[in-house]
A = this chain, B = another copy of it.
């Protein structure tokens, strides 16, 4: 792992907790090693985490000389977080314990074009049922992390997108869900959340980019374990970078944007223009369902479907080269429902194209991989955001006192 010594990014409590979770049981010396900080700093961090009731001693190992080293481990049931990923075509909610295990998961319909009050009420109902089913004590639930697309005012908890309906522009999504559930709600970009979700499952403190594809295409970057935020957390807007400066005007204000050229929607539109293909695959549901039918057909050898996926993957690859040329990362992770069926096909095209096209390929290679569970990563990351927000606050306190 890179040393943080001369760098300006510090391993926060959240990163230390990630490492403890990842390793199972770890000594302060090992933590110091993994973070590049001093053992004294790690003692301080462990004391804070112990005080919060999040970690405890789980044993000792003999040292070469002197007193044995104490091993620190996660208290898995110290608290629980709810994570939700929501867009027009899909929604997933999870309840996660402190060890990062999914205790219960609900897959739900997306928002569609329904009134937001109805969408939020539905979500709140699911959360209520999930917490009851999981038999999680209410006072141990830290809050809800709600991952959706941008632009958004993350700190205010307000979405600022006109999609899928004008009602989304300026809608106080976080406050409304908080009122409906009685839990604090943090808003997060879905691609960034997916990155945090991937990290929750291992790879603490690492650096990688995320391509998130569900109803549309989004991007996120994790650096040394921290989300890249820019000035308003609206960066890494992969779906709306131009891949064709001479292309068509996009509703976003830019031209030749990636999403309307290579995203699930144009792929499905092209498929529907081929009546034989549409009939063969049974298309005609929503964009995401249809896209995954095309992806499955491509995987099973349908040439027309495969050509559509290959074309989309090639366009996406050009944009992901831009993403890597901009952020200089050595690893790209694919997440989101739209990779459920065709993830491997996208992965292969991206891997080949990146390693022949990125600017710094003679300095380092670029790995491309699928998230362990592409449909769950962003919801898992939503849960992770709740914990990070707590740990990165100046004086973290658990409501429960644990």
Interface of A toward B, CB cutoff 8 Å: 2, 5-6, 8-10, 12, 150-151, 153, 160, 207, 219, 223, 226, 229-238, 240-246, 252-256, 261, 314-315, 318-319, 321-323, 325-330, 356-364, 392-394
Contact = CB atoms under 8 A, between A and B. Distances in A.
A240 B325 contact: yes
Contacts of A12: 8
Contact of A229 (B243, B325, B328): B328
B328 A326 contact: no
A256 B255 CA distance: 15
A261 B361 CA distance: 22
B321 A254 contact: yes
A243 B242 contact: yes
A259 to B, nearest CB: 11
A40 to B, nearest CB: 15
B329 A254 contact: no
A2 B246 CA distance: 38
A326 B241 contact: yes
B254 A318 contact: yes
Given A5-B394, A232-B363, A237 B357 contact: no
B253 A357 contact: yes
Contacts of A328: 229-237
Contacts of A9: 8-9
